[in-house]
A and B are shown apart, each in its own frame.
Chain A
Amino acid sequence: MRFPLSLWDLCLWLAAMAIILLITSELLSSSSEYLGNIVIEKGRLRAAALALGTGFMVTVALRAWQFI
């Protein structure tokens, strides 16, 4: 029994999620006419998006380290 995802798979997953969340967070924080009225913790959403983005960058760095 082992986890079926490799680092590369996780990297891909993190990238996809980070992009979705970063775009959502950016759209929400712009306080536009419609999107600005969504009542969620926008700060926390931004933090989660940034955390995923950082996670993705870490996996990229690990891949780069493996190549070097």
Chain B
Amino acid sequence: MNELYAEEGVSDVKTLKDTSEYLRTESMTPNRLQKSRRDEGTSMVLTTTQYLVETINQLQTELDFAKRELEKKRGITSNKVAVFFLIPGTASLILSVILNQQVLSFIGLGLTFWGALFLFVKPVKYVKGSLLDSTAIASYSTLDRMLTDLDYKGRGYYIPPYPKEAFLPQYLRGLKDMVVFLSADGGPEMPSIDEIAKKRFILENPKGICVSPPGMGLLSQFEREIGRTIDGIELSELCQTLPQVVLMNLQLAKELEIKPESKGVRLTVVNSVYKKLYWKEQELQSVLLLGCPLVSAVACALAKSTGKILTISESNVSAKGEKISVFYLFVED
């Protein structure tokens, strides 16, 4: 019976699908069956493995070829257009000098100039906006898992860092990093300077965890666009500058308004590139706690500018995340 099974296996190995099915049955069969057909099976497995490797190699070659074809068909790059303009342009200019022709020199000048311009004003390498939230989902999901596992139901407190240029002893250097303290129960207690400086993750008194804010990278980008650190910027100035950076320079949203109120700051974002993170299908609780990278970056900027600890006390998100309204509450006065 066993021999018959093995023989059937041999005869069936004709296609890739059959091979994989055969390998699967091979791995699932009991030990006694494997033992009985070891002799016959060894050579056959070697053959099928070889066949699989060859198929994979062949597919890889086909994939590479298809990629190259796609690159070719993706269109004419600006460099090619530039060369197409530059060569006749230069030729025309040379000819105009030789023949002393004004029209030719105008043509040559125009072509050369536009060729050079095409080289100079190359298309910027952009990535699709949907990639931004796709890459962010994993970290939020991880955070969600941690919070669920630790059974933390508190709030996220953005703790402002010390200015980069401020002198601090080696053991306090950790205070220069922006952190978010996720409290276990939402109590008003904040972790001690000592604990933050030690760059600890799980804190015991008060209970909670310290993580890097999701918008920390974006904050650095804001500072690069503004041309200076946010430390010294007044809140009123920041409320005017940040929307410009987000909308004009980085184009992360369609509309953005930062409005100071009595106990905090209200942020309204319309059509943010991170809106998918708020979709109900994602079921991300940490997004409401910390905000999407854009909301988090604004929180970091506000904390850094004012030097006050703040928390997201209110998050109103419209259907499909088109409009996000967040209220940052200053914990300290």
Contacts and interface: CB of A to CB of B under 8 A. Distances in A.
Contacts of B84: none
Contact of A4 (B105, B122, B124): B105
B97 interface: yes
Interface in A1-56: 1-5, 9, 13, 17, 21, 31, 36, 39-41, 44-45, 48
A39 B126 contact: yes
Name the prevailing secondary structure of the B interface residues. Answer: helix
Given A4-B105, A31-B248, A48 B96 contact: no
Given A4-B97, A40-B123, A48 B105 contact: no
B42 to A, nearest CB: 58
A41 B78 CA distance: 12
A46 to B, nearest CB: 10
A13 to B, nearest CB: 6
A26 to B, nearest CB: 14
Interface in B174-231: none
B137 interface: no
A9 B104 CA distance: 13
A17 B123 contact: no
A44 to B, nearest CB: 5
A68 B96 CA distance: 32
Nearest to A9: B102
Interface residues of B, number: 22
A5 B109 contact: yes
Given A4-B97, A13-B106, A40 B122 contact: yes
Contacts of A9: 102, 106
Contacts of B109: 5, 13
Interface stretch (B5-13, B30-38, B113-121, B294-302): B113-121
Interface residues of A, number: 17
B96 A4 contact: yes
B97 A2 contact: yes
B124 A39 contact: yes
A61 B177 CA distance: 55
Interface in B74-127: 96-98, 100-102, 104-106, 109-110, 113, 117, 120-124, 126
Contacts of A45: 117, 121
Contacts of B126: 39
A57 B123 CA distance: 29
Contact of B117 (A2, A3, A39, A48): A48
Given A13-B106, A39-B124, A41-B124, A4 B248 contact: no
A4 B104 CA distance: 9
A5 B124 contact: no
B251 interface: yes
Contacts of B124: 39-41
Contacts of A39: 123-124, 126
A14 B229 CA distance: 40
Nearest to B101: A4
17 contacts: A2-B97, A3-B97, A4-B101, A4-B102, A5-B102, A5-B106, A9-B106, A13-B106, A13-B110, A31-B251, A39-B124, A40-B121, A40-B123, A41-B121, A41-B122, A41-B123, A48-B117
Given A3-B97, A13-B109, 16 more contacts: A2-B97, A3-B96, A3-B105, A4-B104, A9-B106, A13-B106, A17-B113, A31-B248, A39-B126, A40-B122, A40-B124, A41-B120, A41-B121, A44-B120, A44-B121, A45-B121
